[in-house]
Amino acid sequence: MLECRLADRFGDFLDLTPDERAAVERLTDRDLRLRRGATLIRENDRAAEFYVLSRGTMISYVLLDNGSRQIIRFLFPGDIVGMAGFAYQQSPETIAALTECEVAPIDRPLIGALIDQHPRLGALLTALTQVERVVCTDRLAAVGRTSAKARVAALLLEIRDRMRQCDSGIGDTFSPGVTQEEIGDATGLTAVHVNRMLRQLEDDALIAREGGRFTLLEPAKLARVSSYVDRYSGLDLNWLPRPR
């Protein structure tokens, strides 16, 4: 799995000035290694820190008292994790590692100082949060109003696009590295039904599978049947304030 740091991610959206880049790089000074399955932040933990995921795959989720789990978001290198606690004393969600991971902690006050000295980066933070919000609404619409098959298809496309964001070498064949149970917990389905939907997508010749590898045989058709939109492209941040 490729590495991707925060300045790289920010650089995907804005041309950072040397000053800005240096300030972003000063946010993190150490790396934490996580084992597969490890929990980084637990729901209702004190929310005093964020992290940047630099290597590996994580998920954020909530557990309901009926025992089921809703996966909110899959996290890939370059993502800020724990930002949901930005406004709260306690984290509203749990963050766990799906694979071995590396994360770099950022103290909350350091983010405050960054926003203060580089308001443009504060605006970028708002914009990236909005993107996350829109992605969340897309999944809400999928879970609320589309068929099981469409939800699974949309999730595959989303994972593909997100993995490509930090590894441009990824094409229509990729290894999501998530179990069918995780796909189910993200799409509001059971693992059993996810399995059947994957089989149907395969029978429809929309995808192919071997081992853990997926191939999107007809990405355009897949996007059509699932109403999928890539929210990480088509951004417009030119109107943000000038860099300091």
Partner DNA sequence: CGGCGCCTTGAGGCTGATCAAGGAACGTGG
Partner DNA sequence: CCACGTTCCTTGATCAGCCTCAAGGCGCCG
Residue 227 interacts with which of DNA, a second copy, none, CB < 5 to 8 Å by class: a second copy
Nearest to 180 by CA among 145, 151, 206, 140: 151
Residue 125 interacts with which of DNA, a second copy, none, CB < 5 to 8 Å by class: a second copy
Return d(Cα 238, Cα 16) in angstroms, integer.
13
- Write down the H helix ranges in 167-217: 180-187, 191-203
Return d(Cα 4, Cα 20) in angstroms, integer.
17
Among 22, 140, 141, 191, which residue interacts with DNA (rule: CB under 7 A)?
191
Q: How far is the CB of 201 from DNA (least distance, A)?
A: 11
Q: Tell me the sheet residues that pair with 80.
A: 52
Return d(Cα 244, Cα 242) in angstroms, integer.
6
Nearer to a second copy, 25 or 107 (CB): 107
Among 44, 90, 117, 147, which residue interacts with DNA (rule: CB under 7 A)?
147
Q: Tell me the sheet residues that pair with 210.
A: 213
Write each residue from 194 to 213 as x if it is in contact with DNA (CB under 7 A), else as -, in one continuous string. -xx-xx---------x-xx-
Residue 175 is a binding residue for DNA (CB under 7 A): no
Residues that bind DNA (CB under 7 A): 147-149, 179-181, 184, 188-193, 195-196, 198-199, 209, 211-212
